[in-house]
Structure 1
Amino acid sequence: MTPEKLLRQIDFIKEIDKLKYIQRKTKLFNSDRCENDAEHSWHLALMAMVLFEYADESVDLLKVIKMVLIHDIVEIDAGDTFIYDTQKAHTNTEDERMAAHRIFGLLPKSQAEEFITIWEEFEAGETPEARFARAMDRLEPLLQNSSNNGGTWNEPGVNYTKVYAKKSAIKAGSKVIWRYAENLIDAGVKKGILKKE
């Protein structure tokens, strides 16, 4: 007989496959294809592994990887909110909190509690791990848009001021990476792929 704990874990694993169907606005590097949330999370995990030496503070890399792998799972229920959306705030919403409890609640109690705690820590952005994980989350679309002639920077209402404000979260996790990001943003303006105002 299969243990109940294993059945719950398998149910969770099946459920999170839905993350592959959640489309983001940003496109793959030098591509016309939008990435999905699963690809985004995988990319952030590898970015964290490669770039963690640039974190301003000592970080628990495994915890950062857990954060970036699970931070968007709530979008299975809540959907992806475009970072520059003018109708809906790109912040933790009640819909996302309910999604976290439903989806992570499929797991056995101790794992569910751990995942919810990690998700909440990422959302709060107050620990060194959360600050660095959020820096990775903001850096990846910046790299994508830079490679795609502006990508989502071409959406109505998106300009230098909005991009700079949203991407400045990188600074809280890594000043070195933030300097690189600032240069990319400025280069976007110089190339004409990011409107100054």
Structure 2
Amino acid sequence: MPNENLLKQIEFIKEIDKIKYIQRRTKLLNSDRNENDAEHSWHLAMMALVLSEYADEKVDLLKVIKMVLIHDIVEIDAGDTFIYDQNKNHENTEEELKSAKRVFGILPEKQASEFIELWTEFEEGTSKEARFAKSMDRLEPLLQNTSNNGGTWREFDVKYPTVYEKKKVIKKGSAELWNYAEKLLDASVEKGILKK
């Protein structure tokens, strides 16, 4: 008979398969198919691996990867809130914390505590790892929308000031990536795929 911790870990692994069914508003690069949360998290982990040299401060890369892999697991219960939603705040919500406690609580106590702490740290964005992880989280949809002729910006009539405000979080983790992002935003305005 497997030990109790293993059974809890397997149960958690089965539970998080649900993240593959959480559809995001953004579409894959150069595609008309919506991305799911699992694809998004994997892409952020790869971005962190590839782009970590641009973090403003030396970061614990494993910690960043853990953060980006688990940050949206709470959406299994809470659902995905569109970053440009006008009716519901995209920031940390009571529903997300409740979900974090339930889903991560499936794990053995030590792992559950670690994952909840990592998720909370990411949401608060105060550590250097969380700031860089959030940079990845805001850069990826920017790359997607610029590759899709404006993507969700056009679809939901999101204007430049709103996009700029949401994307400037990138600057807190990487000045160099923010410089790149600003140029993409300016080019998007020039191309007419993002309205001023």
TM-score by length of 1: 0.99
Q: Deviations over 1:73-112 (max 9, x none)?
A: 0000000000000000000000000000000000000000
Shift of 1:157: 4.3
Letter in 1 for 2:84: Y
Q: Does 1:102 align with 2:108?
A: no
Matches within 5 A, 1:31-42: 31-42=31-42
Work out whether 1:123 is the aligned partner of 2:123: yes
Q: Distance in 2 between matches of 1:71 and 1:136?
A: 12
Secondary structure of the 1:29 match is coil
User: 4+ residue stretches of structure 1 with deviation over 6 A?
Assistant: none
Which deviations, in whole Å up to 9, do the C-alpha atoms of 1:119-176 show, x marking residues without a partner? 0000000000000000000000000000000000113341000000000000000000
Report the RMSD for the aligned CA atoms in angstroms. Answer: 0.5
Cα shift readout 1:14-49 (whole Å, capped 9, x = no counterpart): 000000000000000000000000000000000000
What fraction of aligned residue pairs are identical, expressed as a percent? 72
Provide the rounded CA distance (Å) in 1 between the counterparts of 2:129 and 2:187.
29
Structure 2: 5+ residue stretches without partners:
none
Aligned to 1:156: 156
Residue 169 of structure 2 aligns with which residue?
169
Give 1:58 shift: 1.0
How far the C-alpha of 1:2 sits from its partner, in A, is 1.1
Aligned residue runs from structure 1 range 3-22, under 5 A: 3-22=3-22
Aligned with 1:18: secondary structure?
helix
1:194, 1:12 → 2: CA distance?
A: 41
Other structure's SS at 1:50 match: helix
Q: Paired residues, what number? A: 196
TM-score by length of 2: 0.99
State the alpha-carbon separation in 1 of the partners of residues 31 and 118 from structure 2.
32
Task: State the partner residue of 1:77.
Answer: 77
